[in-house]
């Protein structure tokens, strides 16, 4: 059929929201991969692995949203919402990651609501399910920023030495005088 004579897709609103989400996920995934390479370069092993895992998680979200768009007979706008920001100071990196997750959570809550209002229960649920992942990322980044704020350079130094969350736990325990 001629493209212009096709009946309007009743899920166009969902498709637009899903494509907005794809743009966010691509940009966020690239931003975290950029952070990963910098943390890796600085030998901050734990932060480096967090960013790598988060980048891959966002990549999986791209796939989920893209599959849904095709199912709704739309097409995927596979482009980043923004260019990767060259932020390289650890606390600033975590602050940016927190901001990205917060903005995404707000956008997906709104998208979820709109999909529901338009009778698209599956997209509605998809947004809700992905919000759970984003809140987990937010929690992780907040914890890391807190560790950095509390222990500063010691935390980063310990990461390069021990390279694990274990280091943070040990410092935390020590600071709070807890028993093994």
How many chain residues are in contact with Fe ion, going by CB under 5 A? 5
**Residue 58 within binding range of Fe ion, rule CB under 5 A:** yes
Quick one: 144 or 158, whose CB is closer to Fe ion? 144
Choice from 98, 134, 145, 151 touching Fe ion (CB under 5 A): 134
How many angstroms separate the CA atoms of 156 and 33, rounded? 19
Question: Within 13 Å of residue 50, how many CA atoms lie on the same side as its CB?
Answer: 25
Q: Which of 61, 93, 120, 141 is the binder for Fe ion (CB under 5 A)?
A: 61
The tokens describing 82, both together, are 């923004």
**124 interacts with Fe ion by CB under 5 A:** no
Q: x/- binding map, residues 16-35, to Fe ion, per CB under 5 A?
A: ---------x----------
- Tell me how far apart the alpha carbons of residues 34 and 51 are, in angstroms, rounded to a whole number: 9
Residue 36 binds to Fe ion (criterion: CB under 5 A): no
**124-130 long-range contacts, CB within 8 A, separation 24+:** 126/64, 126/65, 126/68, 127/17, 127/21, 130/21, 130/61, 130/64
Residues in contact with Fe ion by CB under 5 A are 25, 58, 61, 134, 137
């Amino acid at each position: 059929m001629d493209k212009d004579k096709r009946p309007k897709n009743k899920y166009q609103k969902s498709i637009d929201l899903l494509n907005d989400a794809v743009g966010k996920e691509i940009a966020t995934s690239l931003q975290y991969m950029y952070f990963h390479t910098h943390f890796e370069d600085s030998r901050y092993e734990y932060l480096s692995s967090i960013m790598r895992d988060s980048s891959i998680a966002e990549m999986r979200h791209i796939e989920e949203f893209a599959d849904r768009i095709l199912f709704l007979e739309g097409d995927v706008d596979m482009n980043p919402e923004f260019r990767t920001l060259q932020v390289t100071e650890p606390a600033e990196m975590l602050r940016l990651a927190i901001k990205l997750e917060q903005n995404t959570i707000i956008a997906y809550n709104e998208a979820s609501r709109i999909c529901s209002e338009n009778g698209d229960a599956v997209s509605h649920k998809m947004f809700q399910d992905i919000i759970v992942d984003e809140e987990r990322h937010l929690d992780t980044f907040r914890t890391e920023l807190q560790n950095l704020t509390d222990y500063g350079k010691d935390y980063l130094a310990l990461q390069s030495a021990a390279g694990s969350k274990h280091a943070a736990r040990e410092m935390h325990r020590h600071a709070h005088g807890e028993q093994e």
